[in-house]
Amino acid sequence: MGDPRLLERARPVEQFDTPELRALLADLQDTMNALNGAGLAAPQIGVGLQVVIFGVEHNPRYPDAETVPQTVLINPALTALGDEIEEGWEGCLSVPGMRGVVPRYARLRYQGFDQYGNPIDRSVAGFHARVVQHECDHLIGVLYPMRMRDFSRFGYTDVLFPDSPPIDE
Ligand code: NI
């Protein structure tokens, strides 16, 4: 947080399945795995392209976390399904050591492409919908604190959740 590249709009990917895109995805995957995140967006590693990855397998550290399929999502378009809003805790690898409560659409349709250019079109809810909204916000220069409404529910992870923090996005 504080790096101006996190506040820029990312550019669409124009060519799929290239060596450059494969290298970017490997870098994103390595970074996400090393930091134990639920997702990561290209601008978070300094690349201004519309590429996000996310996914949550069953993890003994987060026994209550819903699973989310491992996904590469490129050039995404999001559509809220209804106007129900849910609040939930989020963290971000670009805002280390902190968690905050963020309002998000409860139900969401997202469309885009995988790394080979195959279309993706899913309608999701809950934690899956939250992760996608969080990651895609990185592509329009938005960090989760910019979505918060109640700063009494923002703080240091180890103070808020001494035992088992919510997963980082
Ligand atoms: Ni994030």
Torsion sign across C-alpha atoms 13, 17, 21, 24: positive
Ramachandran angles phi, psi of 100, nearest 5°: -150, 160
Pull the structure tokens for residue 50. 């519309």
Pull the structure tokens for residue 109. 């349709």
Q: What counts of helices (H) and strands (E) characterise the chain?
A: 3, 8
pLDDT for 61: 61
Pull the structure tokens for residue 82. 């209804």
Among 85, 87, 139, 90, smallest CA distance to 108 is for 85
Distance from the CA of 13 to the center of ligand 1, in angstroms? 20
Q: State how far the Cα of 161 lies from the Cα of 97, in Å rounded to an integer.
A: 11
* Regions in the chain scoring below 50 on pLDDT: none
Catalytic residue among 14, 90, 135, 169: 135
Domains of the chain plus CATH, in order, are: 4-160 (3.90.45.10)
Pull the structure tokens for residue 97. 């050591």
pLDDT for 164: 76
pLDDT for 153: 97
Distance from the CA of 6 to the center of ligand 1, in angstroms? 10
pLDDT for 60: 64
pLDDT for 163: 84
pLDDT for 124: 98
pLDDT for 46: 97
Distance from the CA of 60 to the center of ligand 1, in angstroms? 22
Distance from the CA of 164 to the center of ligand 1, in angstroms? 19
Judge whether 135 counts as a catalytic residue: yes
Indicate yes or no: pTM above 0.85. Answer: yes
Pull the structure tokens for residue 12. 């669409």
pLDDT for 62: 62
Distance from the CA of 144 to the center of ligand 1, in angstroms? 7
